[in-house]
Amino acid sequence: MLSWLGWSRRKQDSQGEAPLELRPRDCHSHVIPGVDDGSRNLPESLEMLALLQAAGVERIIATPHIFPARFPNEPEPLRVAFDELRAAAATSGLSVELELGAEHYLDDTLLERIANERVICFGPERYVLFETFTGAEVPAGLFEVCAALGQRGYTPLMAHVERYGYLRGSAGRELVEDLRCAGVRFQVNRTVGRANLPGVGPRGTFIAWLRRRGYIDEVGSDLHRPTADGRPVEPAA
C-alpha cells in the first residue's frame, strides 16, 4: 500500500541514503476540502485520509494555509470545516485520528497574529507550523516571529525546511544552528521517488546533513491530492 507515495522499504538507495518515510503522526497535510490549494471536495479528502491510513499513519494533522495574500483563512471557519471532515471520516469508517493545525505564512501580519492568539497550534509540543519564502535572503522577522512564539508557550516548527535556499550552504548551516538555539524545530517532507532523497541533489544533501545532526524533528506528507506525488499541480497530459 506504500507504492502510491513512491516509497520503498529499502535500507539504502543506490545513489543516496535511506529515504525519509512518514511516521505515525503526519504533521503537514492539506486534507480539509475547499479551504486552500489542497483537497477540492469531501470525497477527495476522504480518499487522502484513507491513503495515509493505509500507509501506516495513525494521526493526521490538517494544516491548511493561513496566508493573507492568497488564503485568508481564520481559526473559527477552519475549525468548522475541520469538524465536518472529522465527522465524515468517522462515518466512512476511517480509524485514523485527526487534529487541526495550520501552515502559517511568515509575512508582516504574523507577529500581530501571534500577539492576538490567532495562530493554531497542535500536539503536546504546541507546535505552530510556519513557512517562509524560499529564496536566498533570510526573511525579515524570522527570529522575531520565533521568539514571539516561544514567549507565548508555542514551539516554532518550520515547514519543509529543505526548500529554503537561505538555509543551505555554509552560511545557511550556521543559521540552522542559531535557529535550533532559539528553540525552532524542523519539518521535512517525505521522500517521493527521487525527490527529497537524502544525499541526492541540493535538497537531498541538506536533508542528509540535517539527519546527521539529528535535526529532522518531523516528517510530513504535505499531501494536497490523492496522487503519487500528492501535489496540487495536475500532471501534463
Q: Which helix (H) or strand (E) holds 165?
A: none
Amino acid letter for position 212: R
- pLDDT of the chain, 237 residues: tens digit per residue: 444 454 444 444 445 689 999 999 999 999 999 999 999 999 999 999 999 999 999 999 999 999 999 999 999 999 999 999 999 999 999 999 999 999 999 999 999 999 999 999 999 999 999 999 999 999 999 999 999 999 999 999 999 999 999 999 889 999 999 999 999 999 999 999 999 999 999 999 999 999 999 999 999 999 999 998 899 875 443
- pLDDT given at position 78: 98
Longest dimension (CA), the chain: 51
- pLDDT given at position 13: 44
- pLDDT given at position 8: 41
pTM value is 0.93
Q: Taking Cα atoms as reference points, which of 124, 150, 58, 55 lies closest to residue 95?
A: 58
C-alpha cell at 70: 492568497
**In whole angstroms, what is the distance from residue 181 CA to residue 126 CA?**
18
Domains, the chain: 21-220 (3.20.20.140)
- pLDDT given at position 118: 98
- pLDDT given at position 170: 87
C-alpha cell at 34: 475547499
The answer to whether 52 and 24 are in contact (CB under 8 A) is no
- pLDDT given at position 92: 97
- pLDDT given at position 108: 95
Beta-bridged to residue 62, according to DSSP, are 29, 100
Starting at the earlier edge strand, list the strands of the sheet with 127-131.
65-66, 103-105, 127-131, 155-158, 185-189, 218-220
- pLDDT given at position 233: 75
**In whole angstroms, what is the distance from residue 122 CA to residue 115 CA?**
17
